[in-house]
Structure 1
Amino acid sequence: MVRIKPYAAEHFEGVKALWEHVFPNDPMWNRAEFSIPKKLEVQPDLFLVAEDSGQVLGTVMAGYDGHRGWLYSVAVRPDAQRKGIGSSLLAEAERRLAALGCGKINLQIRAGNEAVTAFYRHHGYDVEDRVSMGKRFGSE
């Protein structure tokens, strides 16, 4: 039975393997060994895993800055997709963000990822006319 629960240290290897498989070209700063310790310092209750019999099947990281919520690292093992796990992770992240007073959630998808775009559209998300910009600090 799949359970959605907050991340714990025993999930690390499963999350790391999942992210390496699902996000193979992610930069170093998005890798588990860098991003998980940073997330555990800020709103760790918004880092969730989907687990079945000790196996990590999916993840979602969320954040809320008092103005907007954000979703990151939404991932489900390919052999566990289309079973409602991603939808359950998304629903729980949305519930937790709403409980904090969040009125809008943002997320970013890499251009051309039509399957993921369709998943979010199915859950009420729309593509917005925005330009995403970023600036990195330090050696990350």
Structure 2
Amino acid sequence: MIIDEATDADIDAVVALWLACGLTRPWNDPRTDIDFARKGPNSAILVGRNDGKVVASVMVGHDGHRGWFYYLSVAPEMQKHGYGRNIVEAAERWLVERGIVKAMLMVRRDNTGVQKFYETLGYFDQPRTVMARWLDGREPTP
């Protein structure tokens, strides 16, 4: 798998991958999230290609202190081949190259399989309460 930053030509494939992996929610338009991540120097969309086809991706970014991963995905038919580990390592390198030494991510409580995956990579649970507020007037969502 070859990993690099997403290009304009990758966007449809990335959105399709995120949909196939069940990562999108009605209140988060994936195209808007991709466009926003690709605009500035503090975030990027990384894609992994196998035979030219996008089979893995991650949105990676930082706030100047902590790095964050979102939308980490591997095509369902390509899972269990090490691509998830490879795309995580690429995101970690992206952060380290920018001087960020702590990576954070959020996993939905009921997604125990993904929690186990991250644990095999050395990630651990940090008990925290994550609070949120929509600033555009939307109603609260779970």
For residues 52 and 25 of structure 1, what CA distance do their matches in structure 2 show? Answer: 23
More RCO (CA 8 Å, sep 6+): 1
**Structural RMSD (CA):** 1.7
Q: Distance in 2 between matches of 1:36 and 1:87?
A: 22
Structure with more helix by fraction: 1
Q: Which moved more, 1:44-53 or 1:94-103?
A: 44-53
The equivalent residue for 1:89 is 87
Residues of 1 paired with 2:30 and 2:82: CA distance? 24
Q: Is the 8 A contact 2:66 2:100 kept in 1?
A: yes
Normalising to structure 2: TM-score of the pair? 0.89
Q: Distance in 1 between matches of 2:87 and 2:68?
A: 14
Task: Look up the equivalent residue of 1:67 and give its one-letter code.
Answer: H
Q: How does 1:1-140 map to 2 (within 5 A)?
A: 2-23=1-22, 26-29=25-28, 31-43=29-41, 46-138=44-136
| Structure 1: gaps (5+ residues) | none
Distance 1:50 1:139, change over 3 A: farther
The answer to which of 32-41 and 18-27 deviates more is 18-27
Tell me if structure 1 keeps the 8 A contact 2:69–2:105.
yes
Instruction: Return the alpha-carbon distance in structure 1 between the equivalents of residues 87 and 133 of structure 2.
Output: 29
Structure 2: stretches of 5+ with no match in the other structure:
none
Identical-residue share of aligned pairs (%) = 30
